[in-house]
Structure 1
Amino acid sequence: MSIQHLPNTASIAEAEAVVREHGHVIIDNLASHEIIDQLVAEMQPYVEQSPVGERPWGYKTRRTGRLMARSPVARDLVRHPLMLGLVKSLLSHAPGIQLAVTDMITLDPGAEAQPLHRDELAFGNFPFPPDYEVAYNVIWALTDFTEENGATRIVPGSHKNPLVDHSGDATVPAEMTKGSVIIFSAKIWHGGGSNVSTGPRRAQSFNFTVNWLRQEENQFIACPPKTARTLPEDLLKLMGYETIYGVGHAGGQTDPLAALFEDA
């Protein structure tokens, strides 16, 4: 088993073929260090205020959300053409996609390895068909990801048999350089590694789902209307300001985008 890498010149079709076969792909050096450093700088005050988690989700792990309200750089990064185009293509069997989670994840030194899991578990034990993808996670490396500092560990190919417990299988660290990104299926078994280094491992996670599922992070609350009204329409639709065959309207079949600006 090995981690699949593609250069940042890869096409959406090339990346999609790798993800469908292996359940994941790393696109190397997709964002510049300057962009990554600016994102970290914008979010650092909020990261410092974020509490550490509890076992099993990281007693030395800090998760900082509400990126659409807090970070202009994140608003651009979440719409990167190759990354977003890949996710849209992977979930093209649905009416559309939506942004479900925005987490900046900081693994401090001493953070223990996270138990292996599937991101589909965020929706309880609902029996999604094994061949129906409902979500993809996108993790940008804000520092180099190494085995030593807790690079995400995955079981390549486990998306093909998601209902089998792969927690005892051998995992592979998704090592990648700062500015690279890994996209993987919500069915694949994975978990954060243990950080035995002397510095933090930083990551930016964007989770996308088919747009008929409830968002894990409520974007309408996480990003207040006053801020939402300043954002571009394509981003607002990605955040959920869009109807699906009449579902998601703002009352009386009112378009949610129209309702957002109604009293502005």
Structure 2
Amino acid sequence: MNALAPSRPSPETWAHRLLRDGYCIIPDVLSSSVVTGLEADLDPAFAATPLCQGRFYGERTRRSCSLLKHSPHMSAMVMNAIIIDIIETVSENACDRIQLVAQAIEIHPGEARQVPHRDHDMWQGAKGAHEYLVNVNVMWPLTPFIDEMARA
């Protein structure tokens, strides 16, 4: 008997869900060893990072950048073929390059809810006077999201 493994949705299917719903959740896109390795690699960076200041960034939140420098496991995330295919499908050739900003965010219990915002509004400028950026945020939860983190 030949048992076929269930097929995964195509990047086009994920892109359709992203455009339709504003998000998509792709299960098991990374191996557990990559996630575990990345967590271990980032622990020293977070230990050396102070808590953020201000309501927008969070008083019980740490943010760490330069993740490719901190962990060889990071490349499995930033070069993930499924994610890149989705980004290319969503951008519909509107971009001639992809710019990466890799940031890890550690949210501690008791953090207030973040103000809803659009990340593309962070880079202001005169309309039409600068290059337009198509923002696609990819969030990789490394630990389970728990209810205590969602309460203000």
Shared fold by TM > 0.5? yes
Listed one character per residue, the Cα deviations across residues 232-254 of structure 1 (whole Å, up to 9, x for unaligned) are: xxxxxxxxxxxxxxxxxxxxxxx
The one-letter code sitting in structure 2 at the alignment partner of 1:94 is: C
Query: Helix, strand or coil for the counterpart of 1:63?
Result: strand
Higher strand share: 1
Query: Helix, strand or coil for the counterpart of 1:27?
Result: coil
Equivalent in the alignment of 2:98: 97
Taking the aligned partners of 2:32 and 2:46, their CA distance within structure 1 comes to 19
Taking the aligned partners of 1:194 and 1:79, their CA distance within structure 2 comes to 34
- Tell me if the contact between 1:88 and 1:96 (Cα under 8 Å) persists in the aligned partners: no
Query: Helix, strand or coil for the counterpart of 2:109?
Result: coil
Shift of 1:145: 2.3
Is residue 124 from structure 1 mapped to residue 117 from structure 2 by the alignment?
no
- For this pair of structures, how many residues does the alignment match? 142
Equivalent in the alignment of 2:114: 114
Is residue 26 from structure 1 mapped to residue 15 from structure 2 by the alignment?
no
Equivalent in the alignment of 1:84: 84
Is residue 13 from structure 1 mapped to residue 12 from structure 2 by the alignment?
yes
Matches within 5 A, 1:1-264: 9-56=8-55, 57-91=57-91, 92-99=93-100, 101-124=101-124, 127=127, 134-146=134-146, 148-150=147-149, 193-194=150-151
Taking the aligned partners of 1:134 and 1:74, their CA distance within structure 2 comes to 22
Structure 1: 4+ residue segments shifted above 6 A? none
Shift of 1:35: 1.3
Output the TM-score relative to the length of structure 1: 0.50
- Tell me if the contact between 1:8 and 1:29 (Cα under 8 Å) persists in the aligned partners: no
Shift of 1:53: 0.7
Shift of 1:125: 5.8
Alpha carbons of structure 1 residues 68 and 126: separation in structure 2 relative to 1, 3 Å: farther
Unmatched tracts of structure 2, length 5 or more = 1-5
Alpha carbons of structure 1 residues 116 and 127: separation in structure 2 relative to 1, 3 Å: farther
Higher helix share: 2
